[in-house]
Structure 1
């Protein structure tokens, strides 16, 4: 494989790996975020190759060159992104005092002073970006600064003219009859442009001005896969030999490079754009952009007080010590021990609001026997449990759900709330989805079992956020894999989601 093709393959493979890694780390939480943006660029350019006198100042016959461009950016995660970038600009360079011998006159020593112009090149690349300050310092430092390293691969079309510095005579130009042996050409503005591969790498520093605009600077170093951008292949002592540069044979010089320093202005696309204030996020105020926000900060941390927390709150707000049974539920029936009239009910029991185990069969028989009004509802609480990573109703749970259907069909002014939960052995987003599948399975069973008016079913799901036991034991994990059943009057129903949570 040629060295040129090896470089191209290496950079394409790096770009692909970066894109795959970024996709694997893309956040897919419950809060929507804006991810697209457009950036405009404008600044100066500098050529680095054979025909240059200085690295960081202008040589003889050189004028300041520049470029402008635009990029379409997709943020895949707070750290990784990808962008499609296009540039239109110019390059120039000059070289003085190169001496050599013309083969036609071997006794005469000549001095060659030359300069070149590439008045309008076009370049398009695909780049992967890495947010270095997020990667190295996290999300709490430099919140409104974004330092991106970027690299990629693309294509460049150029047209170059080479002149004698003393007489301004045209010595060489690209795209002559011999240039048909190059990689490819393109017609633009009456000129034929030569095509070559280019590999850019650079650093961009951005500051978040507002919810819509960012401003910054971008430094990029472009490695062009040719030594002929300045129409020189190394032998500057005899330009008669340069007329064969359009073949595939490599010359004596290194491949050409050019750099740029540009001002960048970014417009962030998306709906209801907002920005964080002092590191504070409110998912209900609008959509944050993934360029700047940590998605996990949009999800409120559920408050699970420890006994020490509960004791501190009691001492600060009550004259008397709070009974610790208010914060415990020994039998896991969703009724605190302080109010639980039967604190040792068997697992899976259907209980009343006072924690008393109830016989659904007896309630239904009494309702038929005594012809109770249909607008009276019992406050029933029960849990049905699931196997690991499953959303399949067990046979024992099917019997409980069938009895619930009988009761609800007798009392038409009652509604049922199904609340899904999981243990903690997966990602947050996966557990939320699993708890939703579990309540959906219970809902489907109730409907298929003959529940009148399926609209009376309300479902909620919280993933791993509301455990009733420790996730460190087999028994605790099993208790947390559950769907809670609550039968309540219609006027007592309300959402139990934490603030800002939307399943």
Structure 2
């Protein structure tokens, strides 16, 4: 963020001390005085900052009938400080951010400032005796602080042969700024400066005798308060830094440029973490949810081992030997035709069939033995075919137990094929999936029976071993 800026001041000055007729009106012989200034500002946070400020200006004051307790005379007095220079270091506090936060009065900045520094000044004073009973009635005296004597009270600064009186000063004020553009702010400022002397107007309250100048050039302390001066000015601020931007309707975008710390809260530039509500999370989940899988892909209404989505004959009788499209096949006829027609041995029919088991059993039933015997006869004739045995269970046990049970069922079928005369047992491929591939619901007796099965697939040697992912095989 940008933190540096420069402010120029121009306005009206006013003296506050002994030689003044009114606080906010011009006295006799007084003219409107002014001054200008320049400050270099460093913003430390959105609320606090510091500034190095310099002022140059003019002060005047007058008073009629000013009484001196030393001489007992009254005087009409006029003083002029034609040029003073002041340098201070001030701290600033942004009151509206402190009191109202960052969302109200976004374009306004109300700063209270307080500091300390040094003022160099010289004063020329003219006093006219107005006491008719005095032998010096109507006589005029002149007093100037830019003399060798004046330096004895406050110190001196030689510049172009003149002597400037030096004093400590404490400025305090209030400034109101408005953010015009990303670069410029316009404001009003009033500063009252407490000067550590009552002799800025060459007068000691109640103790000055202008005829003898008694009390003016001594360390006497009069009855009045220390002097001061104020300035009401227009302030124009130029904000330094690169890529200057300002917030739009209270919205900050860190990628658009650099905001100035005079106006922006750094926390506003940190993106608010997104914490979705339950409704948001539900909407996101629904938007990213995959499309529903066609239920026909994992259902097998007739229990022939072919999903309904691909089954061309959806109502084959239980125990039927089917083709890859789920069409019932006459295994006896296929074998007879193969033997009769002496088909080449490198051709295989894709046969699918299921043999079922009793609950928690791995014993081949008699109807299944007949089916397996026909498979042996076909394989011995088609020497270039292989058989895939895939074991399954219902869901009424643990996963690990069901996987082991499906393996025992496959092993039982394999043993039967070998004992039934299969000439090449290496052509048998065994796979087992436990309860993970049901073809029916596990909530009915019929569904449980359909899931307790070993699928028989007869495929050519050059085909993939199984239609299931190989990585899933136990």
Q: Same fold (TM over 0.5)?
A: yes
1:145 to 2:94 alignment: no
Query: Structure 1 residue 102: deviation in Å?
Result: 7.6
Say which structure is richer in helix. Answer: 1
Counterpart of 1:232? 203
Deviates more, 1:208-217 or 1:231-240: 231-240
Counterpart of 1:257? 228
Rounded to whole Å, the distance in 2 between the matches of 1:63 and 1:219 is 20
Counterpart of 1:160? 123
Query: Structure 1 residue 54: deviation in Å?
Result: 0.4
Query: Structure 1 residue 234: deviation in Å?
Result: 1.1
Structure 2 counterpart of 1:269, from 240, 252, 258 = 240
Contact 1:235 1:242 in 2 (8 A): no
Query: Structure 1 residue 294: deviation in Å?
Result: 0.9
Contact 2:189 2:235 in 1 (8 A): yes
Rounded to whole Å, the distance in 2 between the matches of 1:217 and 1:168 is 44
Alignment of 1:125-140 (within 5 A): 125-140=88-103
Query: Structure 1 residue 138: deviation in Å?
Result: 0.6
1:248 to 2:248 alignment: no
Deviation per CA, 1:117-168: give whole Å up to 9, x if none: 0010000000000000100011111111100000000000000011135879
Deviation per CA, 1:208-235: give whole Å up to 9, x if none: 0111110001000110000000011112
Deviation per CA, 1:366-408: give whole Å up to 9, x if none: xxxxxxxxxxxxxxxxxxxxxxxxxxxxxxxxxxxxxxxxxxx
Contact 2:117 2:168 in 1 (8 A): yes
Alignment of 1:417-436 (within 5 A): none
SS at match of 2:217: coil
Query: Structure 1 residue 184: deviation in Å?
Result: 1.8
1:54 to 2:25 alignment: no
SS at match of 1:182: helix
Aligned length: 284
Counterpart of 1:215? 186
SS at match of 1:283: coil
Larger of the two Rg values belongs to structure: 2
Contact 2:177 2:186 in 1 (8 A): yes
Counterpart of 1:349? none
Distance 1:99-1:283 versus aligned 2 partners, 3 A rule: closer
SS at match of 1:116: strand
Query: Structure 1 residue 248: deviation in Å?
Result: 2.9
Counterpart of 1:69? 37
Structure 2 counterpart of 1:185, from 133, 144, 156 = 156
Rounded to whole Å, the distance in 1 between the matches of 2:196 and 2:26 is 24
Contact 1:163 1:169 in 2 (8 A): yes
Distance 1:296-1:234 versus aligned 2 partners, 3 A rule: same
Query: Structure 1 residue 305: deviation in Å?
Result: 1.7
Structure 1 counterpart of 2:81, from 106, 118, 124 = 118
1:296 to 2:259 alignment: no
Distance 1:236-1:114 versus aligned 2 partners, 3 A rule: farther
Deviation per CA, 1:442-501: give whole Å up to 9, x if none: xxxxxxxxxxxxxxxxxxxxxxxxxxxxxxxxxxxxxxxxxxxxxxxxxxxxxxxxxxxx
Query: Structure 1 residue 100: deviation in Å?
Result: 5.7
TM-score by length of 2: 0.56
Counterpart of 2:8? 40
Rounded to whole Å, the distance in 2 between the matches of 1:274 and 1:202 is 29
Deviates more, 1:251-260 or 1:163-172: 163-172
Contact 1:98 1:237 in 2 (8 A): no
Contact 1:150 1:203 in 2 (8 A): yes
SS at match of 1:177: coil
Rounded to whole Å, the distance in 2 between the matches of 1:245 and 1:100 is 12
Distance 1:95-1:268 versus aligned 2 partners, 3 A rule: same
TM-score by length of 1: 0.53
Query: Structure 1 residue 171: deviation in Å?
Result: 2.1
SS at match of 2:172: strand
1:79 to 2:55 alignment: no
1:287 to 2:255 alignment: no
